[in-house]
Chain A
């Protein structure tokens, strides 16, 4: 979940529900408009840097238009902040993006294929028991169940969507273990150098790496990035992020557990414990911890996984009278701050002008796509995908 979306949900709920048209259907049955086809005025080659949501969707579109392209991925896997574990429980678990922060039909829109056989079973995620831990007391705040609802996958994950419907068409174009260290856009062709020294040339580059990679100067730009870009980079943060899933032999926790002031907890939505098996037809008791933002450093900065899990179990024991340690079975930790080519959670903007500056292409050669550049769905998978449509369209239209 992202804090912006939680609030957006409250607001759109307020604005949208009085529509009497949907009163008796209780559901929106209409479909979506596909991304429009356009005339292609480009016949060069493209290098996409990063095989996360944005990079994969960009490849999917270029492939559709028969454009020559390659995806350079620093790690040994695709997905980036979309990642899953299959065998932890009796349902697959998203270790990164988990919620669908918009209408689930967005998957079809991102796929943009009227022939697809993809059917998505999406849970209506409307937690009923919402508790708050405040001043060392556990308080029930179930009234908020009337305000908050979104969607999650029932039997699959965000990762499965990419794995089954996007990657098969482009798998031979992805080059793994190829961290890009230098981008030289001095001449007509852009020269892209990987850590192993290999240099590739392209007419256009789509850069989809997380903001932290740019902020940490992992990639050397020749010439240097324009000063307005570097200033804008300083105005954005991509704070720590972690997800932990713990199996217990008993269920002692509510659907969602928030901390501190309820309004702030809903607005910032930085730390929640939640029933990860909610509506999953599962027999297992899996509790998730989602923590993004400054408070996540309390876990992400610890040295070992054992320290992290001990801290979490200790906290849960305090809240639930020792039940956590009594019923603990196993856990899995995904520390996004320590992922070498991610180094954080997702972008947080105080100043949205910075977003516009960062999203602008450089010399019509280097284009930026990814969650950090989405003006209305920033910090989401679908937002990252939509920016890929935007920049590929810019490139292909010429």
Chain B
């Protein structure tokens, strides 16, 4: 498990380095804001940036497909009210296909996240009025590798919507691994677009 931890740390640093480089070079950076739901129903928000590392232009007039290799650093928050709340720092590297004619796009990516869970262990209730006196929490940290599929459509040059599904594995040395399922519905703003 310690070897795995080191591997994830190295990968994380590598992803951060690539993100920073991409940020400096990228011609079409974008920023997204999304509703994030763990198993759809544990609600949250996610803010992501998106940088193209490489772009393959459309091959011909008939096939109007543009392909991108992209990197996307992200920050997320989601909560299970009364149970836990979670902070997520995540980086995804992926491959996107854009149908320029139809203004739609889809992408497949792999992510590596660092998840902090603030788990409520117990709640002290004052039974004279039912109010909560104290909430006891415990913080737990996990690595979260994910596989993600996303599709979306441009609304105009600057704005598009997207819907993303992710399968993740919550990993830590202290606990058994657990699968997580994320749903995301968001808006993406292209920053340098005319």
Instruction: Point out residues on A near B: beta carbons under 8 Å.
Output: 13-14, 16-20, 22-32, 103-105, 107-109, 111, 113-124, 126, 128-129, 140, 142-143, 145-147, 149, 151, 154, 254, 279
| Cross-chain contact A128 with B175 (CB below 8 angstroms) | yes
| Cross-chain contact A143 with B178 (CB below 8 angstroms) | yes
- What residues on A are CB-neighbors of B59 within 8 Å? none
Instruction: Point out residues on B near A: beta carbons under 8 Å.
Output: 37-39, 41-44, 79-85, 118-133, 135, 175-181
Main secondary structure of the interface of A (DSSP, over half): loop
> A104-B123, A124-B120 in contact; A14/B41 too (CB < 8 A)?
yes
> A18-B43, A105-B127, A142-B179 in contact; A29/B133 too (CB < 8 A)?
no
| Cross-chain contact A119 with B43 (CB below 8 angstroms) | no
- What residues on B are CB-neighbors of A20 within 8 Å? 43
| Cross-chain contact A128 with B178 (CB below 8 angstroms) | yes
Q: How far is the CA of A16 from the CA of B127 in the complex (A)?
A: 23
Q: List 11 A-B contacts (CB under 8 A).
A: A20-B43, A24-B79, A27-B135, A116-B127, A119-B126, A120-B125, A121-B123, A126-B119, A129-B175, A145-B178, A146-B180
| Cross-chain contact A29 with B131 (CB below 8 angstroms) | yes
| Cross-chain contact B42 with A17 (CB below 8 angstroms) | yes
Q: How far is the CA of A364 from the CA of B79 in the complex (A)?
A: 50
- What residues on A are CB-neighbors of B82 within 8 Å? 22, 26-28, 124, 149
Smallest CB-CB separation from A21: which chain B residue? B81
Smallest CB-CB separation from B39: which chain A residue? A146
Q: How far is the CA of A143 from the CA of B177 in the complex (A)?
A: 9
- What residues on B are CB-neighbors of A124 within 8 Å? 82-83, 119-123
- What residues on A are CB-neighbors of B175 within 8 Å? 128-129
- What residues on A are CB-neighbors of B119 within 8 Å? 124, 126
| Cross-chain contact B81 with A29 (CB below 8 angstroms) | no
- What residues on B are CB-neighbors of A113 within 8 Å? 128
- Which of B122, B124, B131 is in CB contact (< 8 Å) with A279? B122
Q: How far is the CA of A30 from the CA of B80 in the complex (A)?
A: 17
> A124-B83, A140-B176 in contact; A23/B43 too (CB < 8 A)?
yes
Q: How far is the CA of A351 from the CA of B84 in the complex (A)?
A: 37
- What residues on A are CB-neighbors of B178 within 8 Å? 128, 142-143, 145-146
Q: How far is the CA of A147 from the CA of B179 in the complex (A)?
A: 12
| Cross-chain contact B133 with A146 (CB below 8 angstroms) | no
Q: How far is the CA of A128 from the CA of B84 in the complex (A)?
A: 13
Task: Tell me the smallest distance from the CB of A43 to a CB of chain B, in Å.
Answer: 30
Task: Tell me the smallest distance from the CB of A319 to a CB of chain B, in Å.
Answer: 16
Task: Tell me the smallest distance from the CB of A239 to a CB of chain B, in Å.
Answer: 31
- What residues on A are CB-neighbors of B125 within 8 Å? 104-105, 107-108, 119-120, 122
- Which of A118, A149, A154 is in CB contact (< 8 Å) with B83? A149
| Cross-chain contact A149 with B128 (CB below 8 angstroms) | no
Listed residue (B43, B122, B129, B180) with the most chain A CB atoms within 10 angstroms of its CB: B122
Smallest CB-CB separation from A131: which chain B residue? B176
| Cross-chain contact A108 with B127 (CB below 8 angstroms) | yes
- Which of A19, A30, A118, A146 is in CB contact (< 8 Å) with B128? A118
Q: How far is the CA of A120 from the CA of B172 in the complex (A)?
A: 32
Task: Tell me the smallest distance from the CB of B185 to a CB of chain A, in Å.
Answer: 12
Q: How far is the CA of A20 from the CA of B118 in the complex (A)?
A: 18
> A17-B42, A18-B43, A154-B122 in contact; A126/B83 too (CB < 8 A)?
yes
| Cross-chain contact A128 with B176 (CB below 8 angstroms) | yes
| Cross-chain contact A17 with B81 (CB below 8 angstroms) | yes
- What residues on A are CB-neighbors of B128 within 8 Å? 108, 113-118
Q: How far is the CA of A128 from the CA of B124 in the complex (A)?
A: 22
| Cross-chain contact A146 with B122 (CB below 8 angstroms) | no
| Cross-chain contact B124 with A120 (CB below 8 angstroms) | yes
